[in-house]
Amino acid sequence: MSATAARTRRAVVTGGLSGIGAAVVERLRADGCEVLTADIDPAADLVIDVSNGADIERYAAELADIDVLVNSAGIVGPNLPAWEVTPEAWARTIDINLTGSFLMTQAVLGGMRARGWGRVVNIASVAGKEGNPNLAAYSASKAGLIGLTKSLGKELATDGVLVNVVTPAVIATPMNDGTSDETLKYMIDKIPMKRPGTAPEVAALVSWLASDDCSFSTGAVFDASGGRSSY
């Protein structure tokens, strides 16, 4: 029996006040988890800029007691041809989408390993597998998140801590409000179902990955792309 079996599981969801993150919060609470939101919004339970290690360190005690981490915080970044992307815009996208997930994962792993049970679910993108034009920084950051997941899955495979990644296609969330119509059309046209996904659809998959029912999958990539992904 795991060390967490006798207690209510505690989860933290980054980017938990909007989009996929908010849907995951709602779903995990329905599953019986105690869920904390981590977001730059002052209304969050943990007010954290995930790219800022000092922000994360302020909540070290709370994060050490977490059983489930969902890394959902992210930005689209520059929607431009790669040769027009500034180093600053590139770095900001990588810092939030990739480095932020790494830092949050580091903060929870000590407690998870000590208790012999944990689930980390990263929210990447089909762009990390296939690349989207005019979204070089975003695509690169999500490809990095897939690689991080695969590495951690192998490192933690005998510790009771499973690390997996979800790769959605375009999802109808506020994060895409600033994406150009041309880019959105490109992404939706590549989906065989011919529609964006919804945040609750992604949250349902995260729910399973965060549960005891997910017991023999780690370092794995789970598609949520309406048929777009070719591998």
Catalytic residues: 138
Query: Rounded to whole angstroms, how far apart are CA atoms 85 and 109?
Result: 34
Q: What is the dihedral of CA 15, 18, 20, 25, to 10 degrees?
A: 80
Which residues are CB-contacts of 29 (< 8 A; sequence separation ≥ 6)?
35
What tokens appear for 117 in the block? Answer: 């049970």
Query: Rounded to whole angstroms, how far apart are CA atoms 177 and 174?
Result: 5
* 11: phi then psi, degrees, rounded to nearest 5: -125, 155
What tokens appear for 112 in the block? Answer: 């998870």
Residue with tokens 């506020």: 174
Query: Rounded to whole angstroms, how far apart are CA atoms 56 and 172?
Result: 29
The distance between the two most distant Cα atoms of the chain, rounded to a whole number of Å, is 54
What tokens appear for 97 in the block? Answer: 């989408």
Query: Rounded to whole angstroms, how far apart are CA atoms 65 and 209?
Result: 19
Query: Rounded to whole angstroms, how far apart are CA atoms 72 and 46?
Result: 14
